[in-house]
Amino acid sequence: MEFKNLIVDKKDGIAILKFNRPKALNALNSETLIELKAAGEALNADKTIKVVVVTGEGKAFVAGADILEMKDLTALEGMAFSARGHEAFATLENMEKPVIAAVNGFALGGGFEVALACDIIYASDRAKVGFPETTLGIHPGFGGTQRTAKLAGLAKAKELIFSGKTIGAAEAYEMGLLNKVVPDDQLMASVMALAGKIAANGPFAVRLAKECVNKSLSLDNKEGLALEAKDFGLCFATKDQKEGMTAFVEKRKATFTGE
Ligand code: CAA
């Protein structure tokens, strides 16, 4: 996969998708959003890939949507720009495999919103996150107003968004916005260890688990449990379920094929 603003590397069933506009701290312009959607769709279709890791080149994860591109937008263009971000991030959120954000530095505005669209967020202890949008006369437009409160609660989300303040990784972790904070030089090793652990599990089971957990936010309990029962049953139609349980009985490690 060749892109202008992204680098995609694949190894051992794990893809690393890296934002690569370091001179602009990986700010998201329309071109990058279009590439992100294309890369997400291609990785979703790639059966050899079990887990996707998203990170940034240089000192930033992503320092937000591109302010130079947004500066002179009309209201309709602003709406279209927001929709372009939503579409691109939906490819991460709805990908049929887990997506882990490795937040290596600044994750501000649209940059933090990329991370929040991922399934799991590990951050360097040097990372800084927040929503500076209100300091620019706008508010988060790539999902931040919707996804933040689901993790941190309404009051914390409002404080972060209304103030526009930037906070350190430790504070963001305390707020429930991050899964883990690790020393900067151990970030990628920690993320790859987690990715490897997930990649060794039954891909179909992980995929359905992601669907069930994601939908738990929008379904009522009865509908959610019905979905869980259906997806649980579907697992029994796979070779991986037979292999996983047979391996347990035979006291050996399971080898999953995704069938
Ligand atoms: N858009 C465009 N360019 C950006 C950018 C952004 N979001 N963030 C950084 N850059 C550019 C800078 O303009 C600078 O370019 P030049 O070298 O050409 O001047 C380059 O990246 C390096 O940045 P700095 O010199 O500012 O680096 P720093 O280390 O001094 O500061 C920073 C780092 C605190 C992250 C600072 O760059 C900053 O505040 N960036 C903007 C953060 C921001 O406001 N993000 C939210 C954007 S709005 C949004 O995301 C809307 C939405 O929800 C859809």
113 a catalytic residue: yes
Query: What per-residue confidence (pLDDT) applies to 101?
Result: 99
Which of these is catalytic: 69, 113, 211, 259? 113
pLDDT above 70 covers what percent of the chain? Answer: 100
Domain covering 6-199 in this structure, CATH number: 3.90.226.10
Region 201-216: mean pLDDT is 97
pLDDT (tens digit per residue) in 70-126: 999 999 999 999 999 999 999 999 999 999 999 999 999 999 999 999 999 999 999
Per the CB < 8 A criterion, the answer to whether 61 and 27 are in contact is no
Cα dist from 56 to 53, 60, 134, 248, 254, whole Å: 10, 6, 24, 39, 34
Nearest CA to ligand 1 atom 35: 63
Q: 185-191 long-range contacts, Cβ below 8 Å, gap at least 24?
A: 187/102, 187/103, 187/104, 187/122, 187/123, 187/124, 188/55, 188/102, 190/122, 191/53, 191/55, 191/100, 191/102, 191/122
Ligand 1 centroid vs 29 CA: distance in angstroms? 12
Complete edge-to-edge strand list for the sheet that includes strand 128-130: 60-62, 106-108, 128-130, 166-168
Q: Say how many CA atoms lie within 13 Å of 27 toward its Cβ.
A: 9
Q: Does the annotation count 133 as an active-site position?
A: yes
Strand partners of residue 62: 107
Local confidence band at 55 (pLDDT 50, 70, 90 cut-offs): very high
- Contact present, 75 and 44 (Cβ < 8 Å): no
d(C-alpha 112, C-alpha 92), whole Å: 14
Q: How far is the CA of 63 from the centre of ligand 1 (A)?
A: 5
Tens-digit pLDDT profile for residues 151-200 = 999 999 999 999 999 999 999 999 999 999 999 999 999 999 999 999 99
**225, two tokens:** 């449990």
Mean pLDDT of the chain: 97
Averaged pLDDT for residues 219-225? 97
The per-residue pLDDT for range 233-247, each reduced to its tens digit, is 999 999 999 999 999
Q: Return the residue matching tokens 């089971």.
A: 205
**Inter-residue contact 103 to 127 (CB < 8 Å):** yes
Q: What is the pLDDT of residue 145?
A: 98
Residue among 69, 92, 95 nearest 82 (CA): 69
pLDDT tens, 111-137?
999 999 999 999 999 999 999 999 999
Mean pLDDT over 144-153 rounds to: 97
pLDDT confidence of residue 61: 98
Give the percent of the chain with pLDDT over 90. 99
Distance 27 CA to ligand 1 centre (A): 7
- For the chain, the domains span 6-199, 203-249
Architecture of the domain whose range is 203-249: Orthogonal Bundle (1.10)
The pLDDT-based confidence of 1 (bands split at 50, 70, 90) is confident
Ligand 1 site-directed mutation target among 21, 23, 25, most atoms within 8 Å of CB: 25
Given a contact cutoff of 8 angstroms between Cβ atoms, the answer to whether 184 and 169 are in contact is no
Q: Provide the Cα torsion 140, 144, 145, 150; round to 10°.
A: -170
Predicted pLDDT of residue 249:
98
Task: Please tell me whether residue 44 adopts helix, strand or coil conformation.
Answer: helix
